Amino acid sequence: MSTSSHVPGNAVPDTQLGLSNEEIQLLRHGQQTGGGGGGESTSSRAASRASSQGLLVMDPSSLAALGRHFDRVMQRIQQQLEYLIEQSQQVNLEVYDRAGNLVDNADREIARYHSLMAQIDELELDFDRISHIREIVAGFRQRAEDIERELEISGSGSNSTAIHWKI
């Protein structure tokens, strides 16, 4: 019974990576949507297939693509955080300027401020989760590259060599 047609042999269960359930869901989503950078490479299809089975593919190409995806996600989160922080600062100024004369407007701005702060809190949580996943992916990527180098140096690049991942 060959698993190579279904899932690469260099995959590990994502539940053994030390991630929370939310982080596992983010990792799986990242593998399915960003792991291949939108391409249809064999590696990206294998990563998507593995993700649907709760596995993380440990080859350098898949891990690099996954790392790039999470870099882009974190950049978008960072941009949104900066925008929301700027907006909350504007709200603070508006509330301060109008508080004496416009109690009704101040109440609306305060509600908006609370909404923005809740969004900031959620984005900061997402940022922390993605950062944690990204660190794990980077570690596995480095380990995969090290193993690949060792295999090249030892001259045993055959497919019969088993790679055992320690989590």
- Looking at the domain assignment, is residue 164 inside a domain? no
Q: Which is nearest to 136 in space by CA: 102, 165, 112?
A: 165
pTM of the model as a whole: 0.56
Collect contacts of 109-115 with beta carbons under 8 A, ≥24 apart: 113/88
Higher pLDDT, 132 or 157: 132
- Looking at the domain assignment, is residue 160 inside a domain? no
pLDDT tens string 117-141: 999 999 999 999 999 999 999 999 9
pLDDT score of 161 more than 60: no
pLDDT tens string 86-121: 999 999 988 777 666 777 777 888 999 999 999 999
Distance in angstroms (rounded) separating the CA atoms of residues 12 and 67? 17
- Looking at the domain assignment, is residue 28 inside a domain? yes
CA end-to-end distance (rounded Å), the chain: 25
Higher pLDDT, 28 or 38: 28
User: For the chain, how many structural domains are there in total?
Assistant: 1
